[in-house]
Amino acid sequence: MKRTKLRYGMVGGDLNAFIGDVHRKAIAMNENACLAAGCFSRREEANKATGEHYGLDPDRIYPDYETMAEKEAEREDGIDWVSICAPNDAHYKAAKAFLSRGIHVYCEKPLTFTAEEAEELKKIADEKGLLFGVNYSHSGNVMVKEARSLVREGVIGEIININGEYLQEYLVDDIGNTDKEMLQLSSWRKDPKVSGGSNCVGDIGSHIEHTVSYITGLTLKRVCAMLDTYGQPLDLNANILVEFDNGCHGVFASSQVCVGHMNGLVVRIFGTKGAIEWVQETPNTLSLTLKGQPTQTLNRGMGYVHPETQALERLPFGHPEGLYEAFANMYRAFTEALLKKVNGETLTEKDLDFPSVEDGIRGVKFIHACLKSQENGSVWTDL
Amino acid sequence: MKRTKLRYGMVGGDLNAFIGDVHRKAIAMNENACLAAGCFSRREEANKATGEHYGLDPDRIYPDYETMAEKEAEREDGIDWVSICAPNDAHYKAAKAFLSRGIHVYCEKPLTFTAEEAEELKKIADEKGLLFGVNYSHSGNVMVKEARSLVREGVIGEIININGEYLQEYLVDDIGNTDKEMLQLSSWRKDPKVSGGSNCVGDIGSHIEHTVSYITGLTLKRVCAMLDTYGQPLDLNANILVEFDNGCHGVFASSQVCVGHMNGLVVRIFGTKGAIEWVQETPNTLSLTLKGQPTQTLNRGMGYVHPETQALERLPFGHPEGLYEAFANMYRAFTEALLKKVNGETLTEKDLDFPSVEDGIRGVKFIHACLKSQENGSVWTDL
Amino acid sequence: MKRTKLRYGMVGGDLNAFIGDVHRKAIAMNENACLAAGCFSRREEANKATGEHYGLDPDRIYPDYETMAEKEAEREDGIDWVSICAPNDAHYKAAKAFLSRGIHVYCEKPLTFTAEEAEELKKIADEKGLLFGVNYSHSGNVMVKEARSLVREGVIGEIININGEYLQEYLVDDIGNTDKEMLQLSSWRKDPKVSGGSNCVGDIGSHIEHTVSYITGLTLKRVCAMLDTYGQPLDLNANILVEFDNGCHGVFASSQVCVGHMNGLVVRIFGTKGAIEWVQETPNTLSLTLKGQPTQTLNRGMGYVHPETQALERLPFGHPEGLYEAFANMYRAFTEALLKKVNGETLTEKDLDFPSVEDGIRGVKFIHACLKSQENGSVWTDL
Amino acid sequence: MKRTKLRYGMVGGDLNAFIGDVHRKAIAMNENACLAAGCFSRREEANKATGEHYGLDPDRIYPDYETMAEKEAEREDGIDWVSICAPNDAHYKAAKAFLSRGIHVYCEKPLTFTAEEAEELKKIADEKGLLFGVNYSHSGNVMVKEARSLVREGVIGEIININGEYLQEYLVDDIGNTDKEMLQLSSWRKDPKVSGGSNCVGDIGSHIEHTVSYITGLTLKRVCAMLDTYGQPLDLNANILVEFDNGCHGVFASSQVCVGHMNGLVVRIFGTKGAIEWVQETPNTLSLTLKGQPTQTLNRGMGYVHPETQALERLPFGHPEGLYEAFANMYRAFTEALLKKVNGETLTEKDLDFPSVEDGIRGVKFIHACLKSQENGSVWTDL
């Protein structure tokens, strides 16, 4: 009989964690999968409490992800995929543990510490024929997909300039701070051993890179990055010149110290015939201007958006969708592909509309090119 | 043992319905209740398909709400509450069926066709000590609650003028339309027998009334309403002068024929010391101006909002929350109160932060006062 | 020889007055007229200082407007027109003084205290064949003229609903104030004898009426007005239901006590095919939405605006024009018509694109209908 | 007797030119100077027509600026200053001609082709004790001055990141264009011999540099510039990393090919305690956010702005000021200083609140550093 529901496990994401909870609620929205196993925390108590909250079989609340991968792989009713929401340093090893045992993986970004590790994961996934999603969540927004359709169809012409930014203010107090207490906010991101060498670019700069690439289909060729640490171990601010494979230039600005900005991802793509602008904090609209014409504000839910965009909508026009829905859209694509796979159906390109391990690899390369550029005096550096 | 999970049933809301699905997903977000029974549609097939989709026991997929109320009341593991999401004409009878059998009720608005019916429901609920929530969903928005705290504390002083609007364009094609096919969009709202005598005021005007009342604590005293039907059976446009119990005046404008507006609920409250403005389509912010000072844009998630507002947040600043979260917040208040109740705890005023049957009654009176005002030549009419 | 420059005089507008100075600077922008005479103030010193500042012939700085009208009418090089910028109570008498001596008039609004006075002025102007402009300055904005072209051409279809507002906060401290010192701000507007019976509706509500009428060509038929005085002699706040001659309804909200609003004239016209919105504080853009389409933001200066709009532009796109330019546009139309007249050319309808004495009469009727409606308990009152 | 009016001459700016007319109207707004001489065009007819339009003595309509400088210097009633509004290639020679004859100069930007020329002009001006204004007009906006006061007082703390942009779309059709007809728009800017080696950076990038410097008091130390010519002789697009003398970094993005942008100068200054944002197209407001606080929208005209800002206002709150007023404010500072000078009063630092020849020199250095950076492969280049 054809399966209509999947079973998933989770690494990381105990009840106190922000992002793991978003993953679970987003998955729940699609009503096609249930949580069956987990290793939610290195702290035993938190791990247990989380598993119990979700009514898991106590045997399937695991002390570590290696054991979890091994045991789940052995079970008849083992998990179909694992969602990895632990801090960055766990991504590579955890992903490898599950992939090598034939379990599909959906992993938080940035994917790994090095491009080599990411390439290795891809190799395993390819060899085993496994799905591998990477959670560049902003590309799950409905109007990002509308932007993609418009740009890919050539509505704005050839792309000639790109301006992306992701500004936040929440770490501004780290500047000049020597009080370790105060630095606890997002502390693991600031620990090179856990975050992997970059704080600001790794966390949010990488979202600019992916969203731009997702919309345009362009690939970054080289960067010239000026990172500011303001005396802290890792970068808190980054201004980056970029060059894409089509020769087009642009700038990415990402920062955790820009007062007045909450979670300000803004992507502007300029072409020879038009331009689009999308703002994460008001995700239900998209600006489109055709050369010489008035700027148009497109609304999610209206009849003029592409049929493929309409198909993604969960709510009618004017009813705001937000972050949960963006995550849920990512998971919808991933799980629908996975259902086809477990049911023995053939997947087409169109089924794979979620960020893949290739996106993950490119993302890691982007971060490393920025770090290398900075190290060498902010010079142009190939990806 | 203390219960931590509730069981609920649903009337209306089959898989094709918009609002029932929002109710279910919103309830799921709170992770404290599961769907246990339902009568989702008058059409047998749709009813069954919906119940099966949610894995309901076939015995608990009921052909009608009377049977459902009766059977569920008899079960040991019967539902704790019912959510009524069917069209307006079912509200009164369905609510009565459950209440009279001791089952708590959460009902869509407008509550009933007449104020008498609403009063009767209140009487039953009061006598039986049952909770009764009415789904004026916009008051579930976090920043509406922030507005309420600010206004109730006197930050904007004494309220002297109120301007509310709820504009949509989606029925503009009804104007002058005689083609019945074309009138299918939201067709039950346009049928006096099903909607209860008002389309525009009943559906969206009532949201203005409630949101204003929720924020300010003021009660409408009288209205002077000019409704436009443009040749259709029911109102599609309404401009209404209003007077509140504190003597303050204002205007409510609601419309389903205003091109350029999706779901434009905007509430502006003006006081002697300041003013607030909240816009439903960008619900994560709130404008506050103190007399003689710059306008401030408050963001959900920031440390400067009230502690009670912070307690409601599901996502950090800058990550958009939307309609599902507003519904989920309504249900969180309702279900947390209900859990206290089923666990024998005493409820305080603070536990009842969800629209009640009293709000429902006032809402029905508002609609009827508008209709009566119109009937008499748009004269001032008491509620 | 054909004249290319006009001579004008001014009543009111000494160096300390706000609006008189705007008139003079706006006239100067058009480079086709020079100030030649004036009676700028009842206070001799202020009158003299103003005249001297502009290098007037001392003989042409007059102690009162009667003398000025008489003497200027006698001179070979007498003024072609007079601009009347004095408080409301002077409008009727001053205008009559000049008209009856054959001098063209450009007068501030509201035109007179009573409709009869306004009609009398019209009669004189008509009999003598004189131009009579009334300074409803917002209709001088370039994008208001674009709105007019769009609406008049039928781009938004038949007009079905109108929403106008003009909100200010600057008199909020008058509420409950009994300290006469504090009430000095705009004091003449609050003195029934000088302002003519209305403060808020007379000053700013009348701008809503005119701008709407200018754009749509519709005429107000009746109003239902709720005015609030908050214990002061005259109205500070007004919520008004309106009905136009085509049967369309709407609402005008004007207020001097709405915190957070500076000079917030906003006009929204809704039609069966589309809608426009214009906001005075960002006057260089205009929103246009066609039914079912994205909202478009039109920019002054771009090629897609009407040729007649382009003809009015003083600056290229993106360079803000403001209040002076709006006034200057009013005066350009008035003075170009006047130059044609003094040169013996025939004027066509198109030459008279400035608010006329008819607009002034309608404006006075609007104010009085609002006052009468209020007096009778906020009932519907014909204009 | 103390002089209260000045006489000025103009080089460039015939009746068909955009910017010369703005200069004249702006000067007229201040009512303290009159046009007395000019050499408005190299084309005799245009020169004559312009002079006649302004009623100039035919002897003072000069065929070339050398003659003009010579003759005016000889006259008793010669001009006090000259405004140079001709294309870039005339700036140096014209300025030198007047300065060397003791006539004060107000010149369009960019000041000269080379820094050496600019330094030479400064030397002459210094030696002769002459005033020299350079028309970086955006710093004349009232709210830019408010931004300056806030930043200079330390309200936003130490400056840590700067983001400036100036985006336009009007030359997008130049891309790939080989039709010389089509390239006529702003043609002199595209001719290296006339514009001086840069189109986009020279014209608008330089406004970012100046506005940022004016507000912050910081000086650019080095740049890393990526310019795009898209096959045309000069740059149409520029993305520039910048470093200031306090070590702070940032990015300047200027473009003439960004569809959807009219005249989009946006300056964002981020400090350790707060941030400000100013947008040229809505110049009457200024955004200010203090760390951890809501964003405030400051309005020109309100009591909370600095007294020195209030002193600059021409219109009350909510009445838009625009480009003319920005120019007029520049000229007000320049002419009031000049009046003091001609009346033998001592000038203080505060009197010199207009961009000076030093600003002009720094501006030229900025352009040249960008061009040199680009030439060497977009490497970091000192100013």
Q: What structural domains and CATH numbers belong to chain D?
A: 6-134 (3.40.50.720), 139-327+363-382 (3.30.360.10)
CA proximity to A209, closest of A320, A101, A109, A319? A109
Angle, nearest 10°, between helix axes D142-152 and D206-216?
Answer: 50
For residue B192, the model assigns a pLDDT of 82
Q: Look at residue C329 in the predicted model and tell me its pLDDT.
A: 97
pLDDT reported for residue A183: 65
Q: What is the pLDDT along chain D (383 residues), one digit of tens a residue?
A: 899 999 999 999 999 988 999 999 999 999 999 999 999 999 999 999 999 999 999 999 999 999 999 999 999 999 999 999 999 999 999 999 999 999 999 999 999 999 999 999 999 999 999 999 999 999 999 999 999 999 999 999 999 999 999 999 999 999 988 776 556 677 778 888 888 889 999 999 999 999 999 999 999 999 999 999 999 999 999 999 999 999 999 999 999 999 999 999 999 999 999 999 999 999 999 999 999 999 999 999 999 999 999 999 999 999 999 999 999 999 999 999 999 999 999 999 999 999 999 999 999 999 999 999 999 999 999 99
> Mean pLDDT over residues C370-383, rounded?
97
Place of tokens 């309901």: B56
Contact C209, C362 (CB under 8 A): yes
pLDDT tens per residue, range C294-345: 999 999 999 999 999 999 999 999 999 999 999 999 999 999 999 999 999 9
| Model confidence at B377: pLDDT above 80 | yes
pLDDT average, residue stretch C278-283: 98
**Cross-chain Cβ contact B249/C243 below 8 Å:** no
Residue of chain C with shortest Cα separation from D302: C262
Q: Which chains touch A (3 or more CB pairs under 8 A)?
A: B, C, D
Q: Which residues of D touch A175 (CB under 8 A)?
A: 160, 272
Average pLDDT, chain B: 95
By C-alpha distance, which of D182, D169, D174 is closest to D234?
D174
Residues of A with CB under 8 A from a CB of B: 18, 22, 25, 28-29, 31, 53, 168, 170, 261-264, 280-284, 299, 301-302, 315-325
Mutate to test the interface with B, among D143, D297, D309 (most CBs of B within 10 A): D297
Q: Using a CB-CB distance cutoff of 8 angstroms, which residues of chain C are in contact with residue A282?
A: none
Tokens of B287: 């404008």
Distance (Å, rounded) from C-alpha D34 to C-alpha C54? Answer: 12
CB contacts, 8 Å: A298 with chain C: 294
Give the confidence band of B54 by pLDDT, cuts at 50, 70, 90: very high
Q: Is the pLDDT of residue C72 over 60?
A: yes
DSSP state of D182: G
Mutation for D interface: B288, B295, B306, most D CBs within 10 A: B295
Residue appearing with tokens 């490898």: A96
Residues of chain C in contact with residue D322, where contact means CB-CB under 8 angstroms, are: 284, 315, 319-322, 324-325
Residue B182 has pLDDT above 80, yes or no: no
Three-state secondary structure call for residue B95: helix
pLDDT at B181: 59
Instruction: Look up residue A312 and give its two tokens.
Output: 């993604």
Cβ-defined contact of D304 to B296 (cutoff 8 Å): no
Considering CB atoms only, which of C318, C319, C322 is closest to D321? C322
- B35 to chain C nearest CA, in Å? 38
Residues of chain B positioned with their CB less than 8 A from the CB of A321: 320, 322-324
Residue C263 confidence (pLDDT) above 60:
yes
- Say what angle helices A142-152 and A323-342 make with each other, to 10 degrees: 70
Q: Which of D274, D232, D267, D231 is nearest to D252 (CA)?
A: D267
Interface test with C, best of A296, A302, A305, A306 (most C CBs within 10 A): A296
Q: Is the pTM here over 0.95, yes or no?
A: yes
What's the Rg (C-alpha) of chain D?
21
pLDDT score of D31: 95
Distance from CA of D53 to the nearest CA of C (A): 9
Exposed/middle/buried for residue D180 (C-beta within 10 Å: 0-12, 13-18, 19+): exposed
CB–CB of C347/C327 below 8 Å? Answer: no
Contact (Cβ atoms closer than 8 angstroms) between residue B271 and residue B160: yes
Within 10 angstroms of residue D245's Cβ, the number of other Cβ atoms is 12
Residues making up chain B, counted from first to last: 383
Tell whether the torsion through CA atoms of C123, C129, C130 and C135 is positive or negative: positive
Q: Are D286 and D271 in contact (CB under 8 A)?
A: no
Strand B381-382 relative to strand B285-290, pairing: unpaired
Please name the residue that has the structure tokens 């700085």: C61
- Hey, which chains touch D, using 3+ CB pairs under 8 Å? A, B, C
- Beta strands per DSSP E along chain A: 6-11, 33-39, 81-84, 104-107, 132-134, 159-167, 220-228, 237-244, 249-255, 264-271, 274-279, 285-290, 295-299, 381-382
The pLDDT of residue D196:
81
* Burial of C188 (C-beta count, 10 Å sphere; 0-12/13-18/19+): middle
Q: Is the ipTM of this complex over 0.90?
A: yes
The answer to whether the Cβ–Cβ distance between B322 and A317 falls below 8 Å is no
**What six digits make up the tokens of D277?**
């944002």
- Report which DSSP code applies to A130: -
Residues of B with CB under 8 A from a CB of A: 18, 22, 25, 28-29, 31, 53, 168, 170, 261-264, 280-284, 299, 301-302, 315-325
| Mutant choice from A151, A158, A161, A373 vs D, greatest count of D C-beta within 10 A | A161
What confidence score (pLDDT) does residue D188 get?
79
- What is the C-alpha to C-alpha distance for residues B268 and B287, in angstroms, rounded to an integer? 9
Q: Please report the pLDDT score of residue B191 as a whole number.
A: 83
Contact D320 C261 (CB under 8 A): no
Residues of D in contact with B295 (CB under 8 A): 296-297
Contact call for C297 and A297, based on CB within 8 A: yes
Chain A CA closest to residue B261: A318
Pick the closest to residue A311 from A319, A321, A301 (CA basis): A301
CB A206 within 8 A of CB A110: yes
Residues of C within 8 A of A299 (CB-CB) are: 294
| Alpha-carbon span C111 to A85, nearest angstrom | 71
Long-range contacts at C18-23 (CB < 8 A, ≥ 24 apart): C18/D315, C18/D316, C19/C85, C19/C108, C20/C85, C22/C323, C22/C324, C22/C327, C22/D315, C23/C83, C23/C85, C23/C135, C23/C327, C23/C331
Q: Of C267, C18, C291, nearest to C145 (Cα)?
A: C267
Angle between helix B206-216 and helix B357-375 axes, rounded to 10 deg: 130
- From chain C, the residues in CB contact with D168 under 8 A are 318
Does residue C208 sit in helix, strand or coil? helix
pLDDT given at position C183: 65
DSSP-based three-state secondary structure for C132? strand
Give B222-235 pLDDT, tens digit per residue: 999 999 999 999 99
Question: Which band of pLDDT confidence, cut at 50, 70 and 90, is reported for residue C188?
Answer: confident
Q: Give the DSSP letter of residue B141.
A: S
Residue type, D273: K
Provide the number of CB pairs (under 8 Å) joining chain A to chain D: 122
With residue A185 as reference, give the H or E element that holds it: none
Q: Which residues of chain D make contact with C261, given a CB cutoff of 8 A?
A: 318
The answer on pLDDT for C181 being more than 70 is no
pLDDT in tens, B79-116: 999 999 999 999 999 999 999 999 999 999 999 999 99
Beta strands in chain C (DSSP E): 6-11, 33-39, 81-84, 104-107, 132-134, 159-167, 220-228, 237-244, 249-255, 264-271, 274-279, 285-290, 295-299, 381-382
Backbone φ/ψ region at A158: left (φ over 0), alpha (ψ -120 to 50), beta: beta
pLDDT in tens, chain A (383 residues): 899 999 999 999 999 988 999 999 999 999 999 999 999 999 999 999 999 999 999 999 999 999 999 999 999 999 999 999 999 999 999 999 999 999 999 999 999 999 999 999 999 999 999 999 999 999 999 999 999 999 999 999 999 999 999 999 999 999 988 776 556 677 778 888 888 889 999 999 999 999 999 999 999 999 999 999 999 999 999 999 999 999 999 999 999 999 999 999 999 999 999 999 999 999 999 999 999 999 999 999 999 999 999 999 999 999 999 999 999 999 999 999 999 999 999 999 999 999 999 999 999 999 999 999 999 999 999 99
